[in-house]
Amino acid sequence: MKASAFLYPWDVNGDPGAAARIAGLGVEQVTLAAAYHSTRALTPRHPRHRIVTAEYAAVLYPPGERWAGRGLRPYPAGRWAPGDAYGEAAAALTAAGLEVHTWVVLAHNSRLGAEHPDTSVVNAYGDHYPWAPCIAQPATRAYLVDLAAEAAVRPGAHGTELESLGWYGLQHLHAHDKTAGVALGEAGQYLMSLCFCPYCRAGYGELDLDPDELAASVRAALEPLWRGAADDGGWRTVAKLLGEEAAARTRAWREEAAGTLQEESVTAVRAAAPAGFQVLLHADPVPYHCGANAGADPARVLSVTDGVVVPCTGGTALLAPFAEHASDRTVLAANFTVVSGMAGSPATLATDAARARAEGATELRLYHAGLASDPDLTAVREALTTRPTPATARRCRRPTPPSP
């Protein structure tokens, strides 16, 4: 299977040996950040620094003229990625024989929420989530669609991977997070992620849900979870606590907002891109899930994208729903963390990749070549150099299911 390693521009720029070192891992591709959220990142091999602090969500290239005069616009990076940091890194990686694809983080932006609080998700208690733009709001959607098109289609890029293109909710590594004291479970995460901004409140009204009554119902539904009740059924618990009909209507509102945003963004990227440009979505096959791997309906999202990148570090079960709707041309990329200190297991990568291939995966994604230690990268190199031949990989692939 084709393998791609995630990288930040600051992993490459200023390090003359970085591009050759990545190529030496045995990957064919790099997924290089072009728009990214705030972070504090280790750079264990860089000759100039060991820690990079990206202070806010930013584009890692000079933003274009389309943003002139607009209230919602991307921010250029500061000293951690000055100028066209993406372009500089992409050129070095291309010169080393690697195919470069853009990595674009969208609906995850704490500075946007801090400077434009009306754009944020608001929970049933009235608390704002500044890291989570409400993707139902028209102005926010217009900003995200344009950002997707600009950040994805950088010069020389062969494709893009769109992350956080959907709802973000409570669960988020934000600043010094201290939110794990109560195990809310899947139901609690959903209820705490429902948005009650003015636009969403109006949307609930259009679905014959009184927003004040709904917010009160959400708070009442959460109360047992705050007191330690077990969430034993995921969506069944949501329906039980909130009521079947009300739960279904909130889900309909959110899934349509996410689905149409994904479709509009992919359409905008394709309109800006050259022929053959690949568009993938970081996705979770449970449509009501929130986060970096956006909840998506497998059939719907695969009808507009070239494929998906699926989190597989905790197991490969999320591949199957996408594999059921895949064609021979669909990219199903299994994403494995290869940083031992971030719960990854690079030592088992070969076994994990074989399991993913049996579940329908066609490619690998390795998170993250810049953050990994030298022993982790050695394990990755050993796993990739013992990969089966393309013919063997094809024999291991799950057959494409017949059309209904």
Enumerate the β-bridge partners of residue 332. 308
pLDDT the model gives residue 303:
98
pLDDT the model gives residue 225:
86
Residue 37: inside a domain: no
Distance, CA of 78 to CA of 55 (rounded, Å) = 8
Total number of domains constituting the chain: 1
Residue 263: inside a domain: no
Residue 90: inside a domain: no
Please, what's the b/e burial string for 317-337 (b: 16 or more CB within 10 A of its CB; e: otherwise)?
Answer: ebbebbbebbeeebbbbbbbb
Residue 191: inside a domain: no
pLDDT the model gives residue 175:
61
What range defines the domain where residue 357 resides? Answer: 309-404
pLDDT the model gives residue 305:
98
SS3 121: strand
Residue 84: inside a domain: no
pLDDT the model gives residue 174:
59
Q: Which helix (H) or strand (E) holds 138?
A: helix 138-152
In the structure, how many helices (H) and strands (E) does the chain have?
15, 14
For residue 74, what is the DSSP state? Answer: P
Distance, CA of 248 to CA of 120 (rounded, Å) = 23
The token duo for 283 is 């996705």
pLDDT the model gives residue 356:
98
Residue 118: inside a domain: no
CB-based contact 32:100 (threshold 8 Å): yes
Distance, CA of 144 to CA of 23 (rounded, Å) = 32
Residue type at 283 in one-letter notation: A
Enumerate the β-bridge partners of residue 162. 104, 281
9: buried, middle or exposed (CB in 10 Å: 19+, 13-18, 0-12)?
A: buried
Which positions of the chain have pLDDT values less than 50? 389-404
pLDDT the model gives residue 252:
97
Residue 119: inside a domain: no
- Give pLDDT tens digits for 68-116: 999 999 999 999 999 999 999 999 999 999 999 999 999 999 999 999 9
Residue 281: inside a domain: no
